[in-house]
Chain A
Amino acid sequence: MEMEKKFGVYLCKGCGIGEAVKSESMHKAIKKEAKIQHIKEHDILCSPEGLAMIKEDIANEGINSLVIAACSPRVKYDEFDFPGCIVERCNIREQVVWIQPPGGEEIQSMAEDYVRMGAARMKKSDLPEPYQTECDKTILVIGGGMAGLSAALHAANHDYDVVLVEKEQELGGFGAKLHKATPSSYPYTTLQDSPVLAKIKEVTAHPKIRVMTGSTVVKSEGQPGLLDVTVSTNGNEETMSIGAMVLAAGWKPYDAAKLDKLGSGVSPDVITNVQMEEMAKAGKILRPSDGKAPEAVVFIQCAGSRDPEHLPYCSDFCCAASLKQALYVRQQNPNAVAMILYKDIRTPGQTELFYKEAQSDAGVMLTKAEVTGVGLAPGGKLKVSATDTLLGQNIAIEADLVVLATGLVPNTVDDPIINLEYRQGPGLPETEVYNGFADSNFICFPYETRRTGIYAAGAVRQPMGLAMAADDGVGAACKAVQAVEHIAAGMAVHPRAWDETFPDPFMQRCTSCKRCTEECPFGAIEEDEKGTPFFKINRCRRCGTCMGACPERIVFFKDLNVDIIGSTIKGMEVPEVDEDELEEGETPPFRVIGMICENDAMPALDAAALHRLTLNPLIRFIPIRCLGSFNMEWIKIALNAGIDGMILLGCKYGDDYQCHFVKGSELCAYRMTKLSETLDKLGLESDRVQQFEIAISEFDKLPGLLDDFVARVIEIGPNPFKGL
């Protein structure tokens, strides 16, 4: 439904814009070329008076499509928020005035270009109509350990219905199987009862939490807000409506049988930390071989963790666990000695105080050591050999009992658990990047996964102990709540949490090539029986990767499509370049388009501007959501318009990716490799279009990067299609 648009352009003169940009010339450009007559200026547009001026126009004159030529859209978004209006933010502050020296010759043409481009973009855009459905806000929590219990309680205490599914017959996970727990409250010095026990009581008593033990998730169909999850309890299946999920499926111990170098299998008296805990809980710590109480116990830390042959990561809890178990040994027998051999002692969270306390016990001894072997010794004992010790030499210690502090492995390493009915697969994709953990790559986005509406918490996401798992559950529950609330309002969940647009494809022209289906990082596109793709909107994160992928250009968002950006590109003025008429040392008026992603590239540009770095004036930047949304058609449009080059700036990709949409910039780079052949065949050097990775912290590299690219374009020569 198209609205009748009434245009208005608002020019701010604050922050140095008024001094740098000539008002008269700007007005002329807007009236003649952008063809908008209603133009107003203000010294401080974001001030209450400036905003009042705009709001008056909206109310009295029916202005509903505005170009705000002022600062970056990353700032003042609350001020320039006019419901029911299309608002196009033209950044003539950070992208023009702040990146040019005062009195720069190019400022005027840059500013006018941006306003022309902004007007073109605004004219083609429409107001979004949110995609709203009857959705469920029930939160499903998979896993009844500390993280899952925490998540369930947090959601339930905020009035959400929760279903808690636990595969074992009892709640509590490993936390409930402890004899004692390392302290989780000040002064962090004495062993406590496991904090999980109190949580189990709270959860079972809570009216909003439905607990299903002995149950697993068999199937999850649909999309967030409209999930149909089938849970099997001892063979009986039940399907329920779910809004979002918290995956808190926990961990299992690393298989100690693989640790033969550390004596595993040499004697029944070589046990794991889990077995040690079980013995303590059962009542007494005894040597499995002859049932006697041990007098000398050796703990070997990092048993299989931080080892390229086993687990490459640190399992986080084992140092604290061994210190705790050393105290068990000492408490059971005041004449016993507990010796801990470590690579490093790690005390995450608040465990440093506990470490100091445990260490002050006369019989707890610690040394750094590389254990070289564990073998049998006379008298039914064990001999532990080590080198690189603090005592400076090769040592041998006799022990009655050896405890291998083995690490943890997430349950997602070999089990999808969530069992999604997604064309792209039942589990979370590419967890090998994270050693099997249900993690996301970015510390900014803990709990998020590559499946919208599914949030990971606890040791399934990252090695952690009970204290951190409790907090993790709360965090993931908050994300799950965010998900159901946004979906109910028809808004994207994250990272474009304000976005009410959604992909609405023009299916008549779809050829079912399924590039969009395969390339969507979030599995938001499925295919029907005929093989035709269709969108599950609630899974979508509105990155536009599908739009970039589609060779038929059928994907449309209300404020973003191939034509909208194409028109924006054409809104630029492309001057003639006559190299013969140039003066000595004068730079020819080449023109370059810069496609910048809104998550890393645009912030980097803003940061450069904040630092008043001078950036090349021949480039006009067009922000897009993600380089994944970059459609090859735009290169054609740009080259036809006479533009000499195109630079694509986006987030880093690879295993250590920073792309906020996971795969966007990587896909763009892949598409670019296909492009260079085509360009070369057309007689247009492929160097005219290049992609670069940039992080927000690398803004200082921008001047050089942009200058080098423009220099290369100038070297190649002007676009032969210019002026045609």
Chain B
Amino acid sequence: MADETFIKPDLSFVKRIMAAGGDTAKKCYQCDTCSVVCNLTPTSQPFPRKEMLQAQWGLKEVVKSPDIWLCHQCSDCTVLCPRGAKPGEVLGVLRQMCIEQYAFPSFLAGKVGDPKWLPLLIAFPVLLLLFVLNIFGLMRIPEGTIQYSKLFPTLLVDVIFMGAAAFAVFVFVNGVRQYWKDLNVNPWKVKVEGNLVRDLIATLKDIISHNRFRQCETTFARSLNHLLVFFGFVFLAVVTALAFYREWFEAHDAVTNVYLAMKLLAIPGTAALLYGIYGIYQERLKNADKAGAGTYFDWLFIFVVAAVGVTGLFSWVFRLIGIKMLAYPTYFIHLVSVFFLFFYAPYSKMAHMVYRTVAMLYARMAKRGF
């Protein structure tokens, strides 16, 4: 028969999805209420109905669909699904599968999403940092005014964390290259026309304005909370870049514009981050009954971000108050959490920042829903 697609269900994929929190996927009976309710779906071949079917049938190519990233998990579909199949949650799991699929090396890919491995994943940065402290003979609470560089010299921090970041970038580049290739030969055979630069700018505008979040009803609060977390990170990233510049190119006690900019951005950045992540936490709990409680994968990410924010805040507070015994350990934990965030970024939910951007860019270029 002409133009036939060969369907081969992969039972292990179905079981993987079910184990990762998408067990309700099997309840879907294809009524299409979810697609009708979704405000973010394109009207032709809408999501999430077909993704639910592909999940049920164990058709692995669903992870190559950009549609799973066009979804912003507003959960309107989950709320209205008559069968309790939770399409929002299932698509979240499919995104996790996508991240695992494109992460490199593959033996690491599944570990971040698996609660069994958490102790080991935490142990790695803890042991690494302790080891570094040890070999440099810095394993002590320093005397005198609290200055974190006394515990961890800046150079050491730069090397370790830039190393971690570089690793993450390397894995991302690998993953995105393969993902982009797969997108362009996906079963939907959408022709990519469009202008890369123009569409990238438009995509970034969408992201920065968070306009897609505002189309959600159930999780409308996230349009603000996520915006705060996002800009929190942006500000703190700028602060870190400024700090790096200051460290290497300015005198340490000069009060320059850079210094002022750092101070002015750091506090609102931290406040935004903490307020935002707290809001996300609260909203998730509030919506848990109707919109689903989220998977381990989701919550791990929330807690890591929260940990980064909270430990960062308290490192600063304890330093100002002057309690050495609390300040330095808190700072240590802060470094561990930041390392966790950076190093495991390509394997954790943090990867969404890369894959969703790429999928949205692709959708624009393929004129799919924009």
- Bound together, the chains give a CA A365 to CA B11 distance in angstroms of 10
Chain B's nearest CB lies how many Å from the CB of A550?
Answer: 60
**B26 proximity list for chain A (CB < 8 A):** 359-362, 364
Which one, B49-57, B69-77, B105-113, B253-261, is touching chain A? B49-57
- 9 further A-B contacts with Cβ under 8 Å, apart from A368-B30, A391-B5, A392-B45, are A335-B11, A337-B11, A360-B26, A367-B53, A390-B53, A391-B50, A393-B3, A395-B7, A397-B6
- Bound together, the chains give a CA A372 to CA B15 distance in angstroms of 30
Binding site for B on A (CB under 8 A): 296, 335, 337, 339, 345, 356, 359-368, 372-373, 385, 390-398
**With contacts A360-B27, A390-B50, A391-B50 known, is A372 near B1, CB below 8 A?**
yes
Residue of A nearest to B6 (CB): A396
Q: Is B9 an interface residue (CB 8 A)?
A: yes
B4 & A395 in contact (Cβ 8 Å cutoff): yes
Q: Is B245 an interface residue (CB 8 A)?
A: no
Q: Could you name 27 residue pairs across A and B whose Cβ atoms are closer than 8 Å?
A: A296-B9, A337-B11, A356-B83, A360-B26, A362-B11, A362-B14, A362-B15, A363-B11, A364-B26, A365-B9, A365-B57, A365-B58, A366-B56, A367-B57, A391-B50, A392-B45, A392-B50, A393-B3, A393-B5, A394-B2, A394-B3, A394-B5, A395-B4, A395-B6, A396-B4, A396-B7, A397-B7
B14 & A363 in contact (Cβ 8 Å cutoff): yes
Residue of B nearest to A360 (CB): B26
Most chain A beta carbons < 10 A, residue from B1, B15, B45, B83? B1
Q: Is B18 an interface residue (CB 8 A)?
A: yes
**B18 proximity list for chain A (CB < 8 A):** 362
**B252 proximity list for chain A (CB < 8 A):** none
Most chain B beta carbons < 10 A, residue from A339, A362, A392, A398? A362
- Bound together, the chains give a CA A385 to CA B7 distance in angstroms of 10
Chain B's nearest CB lies how many Å from the CB of A156?
Answer: 43
Number of interface residues of B (CB under 8 A): 25
A385 & B4 in contact (Cβ 8 Å cutoff): yes
Q: Is B8 an interface residue (CB 8 A)?
A: yes
Residue of A nearest to B2 (CB): A394
- Bound together, the chains give a CA A385 to CA B57 distance in angstroms of 16
Q: Is B131 an interface residue (CB 8 A)?
A: no
Most chain B beta carbons < 10 A, residue from A359, A361, A364, A372? A359
Would you list which residues of chain B between 1 and 35 have a CB under 8 Å from chain A? 1-9, 11, 14-15, 18, 26-27, 29-30
**With contacts A368-B30, A385-B1 known, is A391 near B7, CB below 8 A?**
yes
A398 & B45 in contact (Cβ 8 Å cutoff): no
Chain B's nearest CB lies how many Å from the CB of A662?
Answer: 42
- Bound together, the chains give a CA A667 to CA B57 distance in angstroms of 58
A394 & B1 in contact (Cβ 8 Å cutoff): yes
- Bound together, the chains give a CA A393 to CA B7 distance in angstroms of 11
**B54 proximity list for chain A (CB < 8 A):** 391
**B45 proximity list for chain A (CB < 8 A):** 392
- Bound together, the chains give a CA A392 to CA B44 distance in angstroms of 11
**A296 proximity list for chain B (CB < 8 A):** 9
Residue of B nearest to A364 (CB): B26
**A391 proximity list for chain B (CB < 8 A):** 5, 7, 50, 53-54
**A368 proximity list for chain B (CB < 8 A):** 30
A395 & B8 in contact (Cβ 8 Å cutoff): no
Residue of B nearest to A358 (CB): B26
Chain A's nearest CB lies how many Å from the CB of B26?
Answer: 5
**B11 proximity list for chain A (CB < 8 A):** 335, 337, 362-363
Residue of B nearest to A363 (CB): B11
- Bound together, the chains give a CA A396 to CA B8 distance in angstroms of 9
- Bound together, the chains give a CA A397 to CA B8 distance in angstroms of 7
B5 & A396 in contact (Cβ 8 Å cutoff): yes
- Bound together, the chains give a CA A62 to CA B7 distance in angstroms of 89
**A393 proximity list for chain B (CB < 8 A):** 3, 5
